[in-house]
Structure 1
């Protein structure tokens, strides 16, 4: 009961200080408001950018390891491309070998992509598409949300039948007013029967690839159009999806390295002539970049918060001087030191949180501004961070004035005019 009364009384004093000295208090809180706005705005922008970029990288899959010719260049240091240029591309024979021998995998796929493709149906055409040759197990590694028709059968995969699954754009451009299932389209002069249509994904941030631009067909059917050999033609990629229990895919990576070295007959002292790439390496690189931006937000906002903290401390020193007589009366009536201390400390925290709240409100209003495909979202964690930092600043700014008020001698304080 005492605590509730103390809070209400402290709130009343804080509100009176704000109301009676509105201009002074507003100018003092402006530093906290700007500081919290700067920090939370940067964090919100960073979080939104990072989320949008990582969402746009969903086409790379999760919990996967890619067996490729070229390694990702995120490790720092020189990138000896001339050495990697001599490496062979993964082959269908190596895919079958891994499929038979890998134990720590949910699924395995080999696929190849060729861009700049034009598909035709009667007088209609859809240009600048990606032709993607995949095996039947591709659906176990990557998500292919089919809304019409079906996926390839194992028989169609093995025989390399001329069947295709269309992304949203070719389906809508070639068949705007009819069901494409069962229709015949032409790609590079060859006829293909449409057996499925993929759900629309929409534009991704930074223009990353989506299924909307793709035409999927069996891998062996793809080879009829484009040679996917070891050193020339369209390079293939083998992707292996790891088991959930294999934390960090440590076992899968070791198994893949051993099997690939065995298949390519590499001697113990020879370097790998293949790369085991992890899609999360890109996300980690992006995350480390945004950490630097977040640090810059702390530095920029920190100066404003420092100024605001001194402003609040000034308000509290003035408040102690103006209410010295009241403090003496309270202590003479039995108020304990901690009661006075808490009273002024609460007032300081309240004023600081009020300033931080206005800063967060400004960020929330900023999130309604349209930034194209980037959606700004003020998360609960950033709101809590802003209010928490404000409370800490208020406590640090008010602790010395509050301690001074708590240590006042009641007799001397009452006599003060």
Structure 2
């Protein structure tokens, strides 16, 4: 209890010292405030960017990989010119994988066409058209605000039915119920069977913004847009127990090589692309930004730390006589040490709290489509850095105060 009481007294002395020198306190914590603001702000923006991108990656499916002609980024095992010679995946290859795969929970085929105009009377809108097979909703969620998903018979027969995005529904059928309505796409009549939930603008939309997307059956898409050289994507979703999707990938490679008649020593002429690869590339970029935030913030914190240390030396000098009186009345060295150390830590923490509060205010600002979110982990980081800076800045002045001879200290003027 005596130890706790002495700690409490040390806190009380520190608080009184800070209140008695408001101007000096404010000037001292400015450096820490700017430094913590810089670090926490960069971390918060980076985390918000990363969350936005990862959420967008989830929209193209989890535990999936894509069989495509082109790799997601060159510089792989082949020279760039070889990719041009590779054939594109085909609907026949999709059906072959669908019929023969045992290590997959779902296999789907899809393709895109952008800038296609949808019309309903005088109302029109340019949209991204996505053709999908029936299994697509097992690969990626298709959240609907109204209506239904495609029936298997509709996709098998290539019926002209569509699931439209929120913005498309508002543009083509303002103040109306969209389900059951008919619109024209590339001169063909389509019936709306469902409307997707509104997502809103986001920083990155892998696979397109669903609000501006029109999903149709793959059969209809192929008839309208694949008369030339089709280049669909085959999507494979692995089984839950397949860690790293190694078994599914190995099976796909074997089946694709068989379907394309590639000899045992022949090179693969298709690419296996994973969303995780894009996520890892994003993480590498964000690591650089995080490092930049540390560097920028460290300079400000360094200045703030020297400012706090300087103020603490001045504070010890001003209160030398009081230190002597406290020690002559029985105050232990650790009580004097804690008194000045707590003062430095409190000073640094106040500066850190102000910096974190400024980041909190930043989260209310509208930065385009990016939603700024102050994570609890970043708050803890800011407070931890502030505490460490306070300890490092105040430890030497506090030790000098604790080691003073009480007789000499009392005589000081």
Class of the TM-score when normalised by the shorter of the 2 chains: over 0.9
Tell me how far apart the structure 2 counterparts of residues 117 and 407 of structure 1 sit (CA, whole Å). 80
Of 92-101 and 291-300, more deviation after overlay is shown by 92-101
Q: Are residues 1:326 and 2:322 paired? A: yes
- What is the count of residue pairs matched by the alignment? 412
Would the alpha carbon gap of residues 335 and 103 (structure 1) be closer, same or farther in structure 2, given more than 3 Å must change? farther
Would the alpha carbon gap of residues 282 and 97 (structure 1) be closer, same or farther in structure 2, given more than 3 Å must change? same
Match of 2:67 in 1: 67
Would the alpha carbon gap of residues 105 and 6 (structure 1) be closer, same or farther in structure 2, given more than 3 Å must change? farther
Displacement after TM superposition at 1:114 (Å): 1.3
Tell me how far apart the structure 1 counterparts of residues 403 and 412 of structure 2 sit (CA, whole Å). 15
Tell me how far apart the structure 2 counterparts of residues 206 and 47 of structure 1 sit (CA, whole Å). 14
Alignment check: 8 A CA contact 1:165 1:197 kept:
yes
Displacement after TM superposition at 1:268 (Å): 2.4
**2:149 alignment partner, SS class:** coil
Displacement after TM superposition at 1:164 (Å): 1.8
Tell me how far apart the structure 1 counterparts of residues 237 and 3 of structure 2 sit (CA, whole Å). 57
- Correspondence 1:97-116 to 2 at 5 A: 97-116=96-115
Match of 1:55 in 2: 55
Displacement after TM superposition at 1:36 (Å): 0.8
Displacement after TM superposition at 1:203 (Å): 1.8
**2:294 alignment partner, SS class:** helix
Displacement after TM superposition at 1:80 (Å): 3.9
Alignment check: 8 A CA contact 1:118 1:125 kept:
no
**2:136 alignment partner, SS class:** helix
**2:89 alignment partner, SS class:** coil
Tell me how far apart the structure 2 counterparts of residues 395 and 76 of structure 1 sit (CA, whole Å). 48
Alignment check: 8 A CA contact 1:111 1:135 kept:
yes
Tell me how far apart the structure 2 counterparts of residues 254 and 6 of structure 1 sit (CA, whole Å). 67
Match of 1:35 in 2: 35
Tell me how far apart the structure 1 counterparts of residues 103 and 97 of structure 2 sit (CA, whole Å). 11
Per the normalisation by structure 2, the TM-score is: 0.93
Match of 2:23 in 1: 23
Tell me how far apart the structure 2 counterparts of residues 407 and 210 of structure 1 sit (CA, whole Å). 67
Displacement after TM superposition at 1:143 (Å): 0.9
Q: Are residues 1:216 and 2:212 paired? A: no
Deviations 1:274-298 (A, max 9, x none): 0000112222212211111111111
Match of 1:305 in 2: 301
Match of 2:91 in 1: 92
**2:257 alignment partner, SS class:** helix
Alignment check: 8 A CA contact 2:160 2:216 kept:
yes
Per the normalisation by structure 1, the TM-score is: 0.92
Alignment check: 8 A CA contact 1:6 1:343 kept:
no
Match of 1:168 in 2: 166
Alignment check: 8 A CA contact 1:124 1:173 kept:
no
Displacement after TM superposition at 1:207 (Å): 6.2
Which of 191, 215, 237 is the aligned partner of 1:193?
A: 191
Tell me how far apart the structure 2 counterparts of residues 341 and 191 of structure 1 sit (CA, whole Å). 82
Displacement after TM superposition at 1:336 (Å): 2.3
Alignment check: 8 A CA contact 1:313 1:397 kept:
yes
Alignment check: 8 A CA contact 1:344 1:401 kept:
yes
Q: Which runs of 5+ in 1 are unaligned?
A: none
Q: RMSD across aligned C-alpha pairs, in angstroms? A: 2.1
Tell me how far apart the structure 1 counterparts of residues 174 and 149 of structure 2 sit (CA, whole Å). 22
Tell me how far apart the structure 2 counterparts of residues 138 and 264 of structure 1 sit (CA, whole Å). 24
- Correspondence 1:9-408 to 2 at 5 A: 9-73=9-73, 80-121=79-120, 123-206=121-204, 209-227=208-226, 232-408=228-404
Displacement after TM superposition at 1:117 (Å): 1.4
Tell me how far apart the structure 2 counterparts of residues 181 and 375 of structure 1 sit (CA, whole Å). 32
